[in-house]
Amino acid sequence: MNIPGMPGMGGAAGGGGNLSDQQLQEQKVIKYIQAGMESCAAKTVMAGVAGFALGGMFGLFMSSMRYDTPLSGPLNASNPLNPANTPDISTLPMRQQLRLGLRDMAKTSYSSAKNFGLIGAIFSGTECTIEGFRAKNDLWNGVSAGCLTGGALAVKAGPQAMALGCGGFAAFSAAIDWYMRLPEEERRKNVI
For residues 103 and 160, give the distance between their C-alpha atoms in angstroms, rounded to a whole number: 36
Residue 88 has phi, psi (to 5 degrees) of -70, 150
| pLDDT tens, the chain, 192 aa long | 444 444 555 554 455 568 888 888 999 999 988 888 888 899 999 999 999 999 999 999 988 887 665 555 555 556 555 555 556 777 778 888 888 888 888 999 999 999 999 999 999 999 999 999 998 889 999 999 999 999 999 999 999 999 999 999 999 999 999 988 888 877 777 766
For residues 40 and 131, give the distance between their C-alpha atoms in angstroms, rounded to a whole number: 10
Residue 169 has phi, psi (to 5 degrees) of -65, -40
pTM: 0.71
Are 74 and 87 in contact by the 8 Å Cβ rule? The answer is yes
